Structure 1
Amino acid sequence: MPTPEIVTLDVWTVAPQDVPRALWRMATDRRALARLPGARFAKLLGTGDGRTFTVRDADPLRWAVLLAWDRSADADRFEGSRPERAWDAIARERVQFRLSPRSSRGRWSGREPFGTPAPGDEAGPVASITRARLRPTKAASFWRAVPPVSRELQTVEGLRCALGIGEAPLGYQGTFSLWESTEALREFAHRRAVHRDVMARTPREGWYAEELFARFGVVEVRGTLDGRTP
């Protein structure tokens, strides 16, 4: 698949009384997103704090839409679309991350949504998306391995925000993280012992039936998350 020019991740926070409306949007927006002009890949996502990657992490007040676009102009036209208006109508807060793919390996639902980006400028803030479909027989082992990594993540200098993301309460899990620099991301991914250990165990344990790791340059962050712009 060709590399999209821009990828957007929108995260909406809703009030407790609007959770049923958010669940309705999750159930009904799939086709509307797929029909958006220029949208080559679309996912409706729940979110959580990513500490255990079990249902205990889930945040029913926060929901996300990930879209990979042919062109930046297509992403601009998302504003004012029916799905965007519907989410904005029930949200009390919204943040949008506009991302430029820098590297991607693996598959998501059998596809390579971010193509095969050419190496680019390493300067400036970066974002990372990981996504995996767990093998049911390996899930318990994976869940035992995650908490030390999650605790370590919160101590890394240069992390601007991190969210757990998923398509289902169990088995389809991922992360989104935003970093001050490529160096800060590498410090966590390759130099922290607990993360290196999990990376080394992954092929031995066979946790994943499908996995994807992608890195992006941060083009722009619009809006707020927990009252501030990440």
Structure 2
Amino acid sequence: MSEVVTLTFFKYETLSNKIWAFLMMQFMHKRLKKIEGQSLYKLLGSGKNGFSPLPDWGVYALLQVWKNEEAANTFFTTSTIIKSYKEKSCEIWSVFLKTISTKGTWSGVNPFKRNLNIERTNSFIAVITRATIKTKMLYKFWKYVPISQHPLSNCKGLLFTKGIGEVPFKNMATFSIWENKEALISFAYKTKEHNEAIKKTKKLDWYKEEMFCRFQPYKSIGTWNNKNPLFEL
């Protein structure tokens, strides 16, 4: 069986539950490291209003790489860890992903292996872009972000997007899901603002490390904003 990736989003409403979620960013590592069948995990915070440097204290995420889907299913159905998160959160949504392609590194390595069982009839595509921003470039980078991301506010074919990351301001990522490859390419290469962002990235060299990954979402469990963003799956 091929490796699969899962990304789970947790939403919290009450102050006490938001504090619990924040503390788990530090204290859940010991338990997560012991999960069988898991080759990598990342506890992630999120940014406000899509891709913002300001933290969204009500939303956190858990990225996991599994040796196979069976290991992932066992975690989501039997683990006391996921049970703890369910008890504290008001909404949970997990999306199962098959890796299509990767470029670059995350913390010095490529954590994703290409999945050979891509379904040709499934046109959905998910993207993770992750970067460590050079300290001296932080101001210039975040000053330009609102301009480069503006087209996302009314982008055809975009089903979901959220800014995530390990460390606010410096270690950031975006996760997005698109109806198809054409919608993704239209945004990435045909919008003036994003094209300018690509040029600035090459010219200013503001990343210490970067990674770009494409995935095929093939299973969606739970809800987000009271609906399953990929109910078709």
- Contact residue 34 and residue 40 of structure 1 kept, 8 A: no
DSSP-derived class of the 1:154 partner: helix
Map 1:162-201 to 2 at 5 A. Answer: 162-201=161-200
Give me the TM-score of the superposition, normalised by structure 1: 0.92
Residues 1:158 and 2:133 aligned together: no
> Where has structure 1 moved over 6 Å in runs of 4 or more?
none
Residues 1:61 and 2:63 aligned together: no
Counterpart of 1:71 in structure 2 is 68
Residues 1:46 and 2:45 aligned together: yes
- Structure 2: give runs of 5+ residues left out of the alignment: none
Q: 2:80 pairs with 75, 79, 82, which one? A: 82
Aligned equivalents of 1:180 and 1:197: distance in 2?
Answer: 24
Once the two structures are overlaid, the 10-residue window that deviates more, 108-117 or 199-208, is 108-117
DSSP-derived class of the 1:60 partner: coil
Q: How many residues align?
A: 226
Map 1:1-230 to 2 at 5 A. Answer: 5-17=3-15, 18-49=17-48, 53-55=52-54, 58-79=55-76, 80-116=78-114, 120=118, 123-230=122-229
- Contact residue 47 and residue 53 of structure 2 kept, 8 A: no
- Contact residue 150 and residue 193 of structure 2 kept, 8 A: no
- Structure 1: give runs of 5+ residues left out of the alignment: none
RMSD over equivalenced CA pairs, Å: 1.9
Aligned equivalents of 1:62 and 1:81: distance in 2?
Answer: 21
Identity rate of aligned residues, in percent? 30
Aligned equivalents of 1:181 and 1:142: distance in 2?
Answer: 28
For residues 19-67 of structure 1, give each alpha carbon's deviation from its aligned partner in whole angstroms, at most 9, with x where no partner exists.
Answer: 1111122111113222211111100001123656322xx2111111000
Aligned equivalents of 2:100 and 2:114: distance in 1?
Answer: 8
